[in-house]
Amino acid sequence: MATFVRVPPKRLPREVLLALLEEYTSRDGTDYGIRELTQNEKVAALNRQLDRGDVYLLYDADSEEWDLLAKEQAEMLLNS
């Protein structure tokens, strides 16, 4: 069973958070709608969502992988 940990973005060095967000926005399937956004726009949008608490950064200690998830989905994983 996976062991998820919520990582507060403010605890990460700015360069590390930026690298994570850039990697996330370059993944297949990260479509942002009708209008194509630049990577900088995508990163800025994710950063705002993290700041508002709409998106959580989760780390899976078992697989040593991380992901960004909507608050509701992340809370379900954290509370299971």
pLDDT of res. 15: 97
Instruction: Supply the pTM of this predicted model.
Output: 0.84
pLDDT digits (tens, 9 = 90+) for 47-76: 999 999 999 999 999 999 999 999 999 999
Residue 13 has pLDDT above 60, yes or no: yes
Structural class in CATH, domain 4-78: mainly alpha
Q: CA–CA separation, 62 vs 34, rounded Å?
A: 36
Mean per-residue pLDDT of the chain: 90
Q: What does DSSP say about strands 55-60 and 65-70: parallel, antiparallel, or unpaired?
A: antiparallel
pLDDT of res. 32: 58
* Domain boundaries along the sequence of the chain: 4-78
Provide the 3-class DSSP secondary structure of residue 14. helix
The residues that bridge with 65 in the sheet, in sequence order, are 60
Q: CA–CA separation, 76 vs 21, rounded Å?
A: 22
